[in-house]
A and B are shown apart, each in its own frame.
Chain A
Amino acid sequence: MSESGQPSPSHRSEAAMDTFSIEIDSDTAALKAVRQAVEGFAARCGCDERACDDIGLCLNEALANVIRHAYKGFGGRPIALTAGAEGDRFVMRLRDWGSGVNPEAVRRPPKEQDLLTPGGLGLICLHRLMTEVKYEPQGDGMLLTMARMKCSAPSDAAKEST
């Protein structure tokens, strides 16, 4: 990934067949629409139902964290979302131009209070349900990459219950 947060050329050509990029506003009213649009697209990319559910939930949590922390609750700020299939994975990238606070930098081993704060539980969901979660500070914001296998392994059910 380049400094500006764009995919590298080889990555871009591989991703280009099944990838969409949209810009959305940091508007909580849009969360449901964006989530459902991406869930539907993930299904059409071959993600199974559990994968689509996980993708939708994690995208929602990541967007909510951007609105809450990167943009301090302000609406009307830009969030660039790229989503699509890359081989056997479904990959999402969220770019914001906010505070640049890296949630990972302040992350501790999960404690009870994390579960009870929306942002805390959101991060826990990302790490439990996605196969990749990467925060990359940009000079003027943050790039979050999340990925999940399109097909859920039978062990995913067991993993969620541990």
Chain B
Amino acid sequence: MEKRPKIAATNISIAGAVLAMGMAGGCIPGPSREIDDPEPLASIPAMKRAGDQKDMKQAGKLVEQLESDDYPIRFYAIGALEKYTHDDFGYIPYKDESLRRPAVERWKDWLKRQENGT
């Protein structure tokens, strides 16, 4: 049976929520959350934003999230990264960790090449 990852209860406290396209008018936007937020529902919009903007400053965090224990995090991390490269380098988020590892290494190599400008 799947286990649900636990995080500290204090992390639940949120000042507001960012409502999505078409619901934005008149709502109170919440604080933007980071890609490495432990709450997947907070991290997912940040990952999507990074991918949409092809934000290279966030690419490192996205690559780190490929190694998350949380399937939703991995799914959206690779979804965002594919927007940078139009390639997944063979990464399949639902595969076992040992089967994901080679693709994670390819992503790390890609990141190094971007950082070195090669």
A contact residues vs B (CB 8 Å cutoff): 2, 4-7, 12, 15-23, 29-30, 32-34, 36-41, 43-45, 52, 78, 80-84, 95, 97, 140
Contacts and interface: CB of A to CB of B under 8 A. Distances in A.
Q: Interface size bucket, B side?
A: 35 or more
B70 interface: yes
B89 to A, nearest CB: 18
B12 A40 contact: no
Contacts of A37: 40-41, 44, 70, 72
B75 A80 contact: no
Contact of A78 (B17, B20, B27): B20
Contacts of B17: 15-16, 19-21, 82, 84
Contact of B22 (A20, A84, A95): A95
A52 B20 contact: no
Interface of B: 2, 4-7, 9, 11-23, 25-28, 30, 39-42, 44-45, 48, 70-72, 75-76, 93-94
Contacts of B18: 21
Majority-rule SS of B interface residues: loop
A150 to B, nearest CB: 13
Given A40-B4, A78-B21, A80-B23, A16 B41 contact: no
A20 B75 contact: no
Contact of B45 (A18, A22, A34): A22
Given A16-B17, A80-B22, A95-B20, 6 more contacts: A5-B23, A16-B16, A23-B20, A33-B71, A37-B72, A45-B12
Contacts of A23: 20-21, 45, 48
Contacts of B22: 4-5, 78, 80, 95, 97, 140
Contacts of A34: 72
Contacts of B19: 6, 21, 80, 82
A22 B18 CA distance: 7
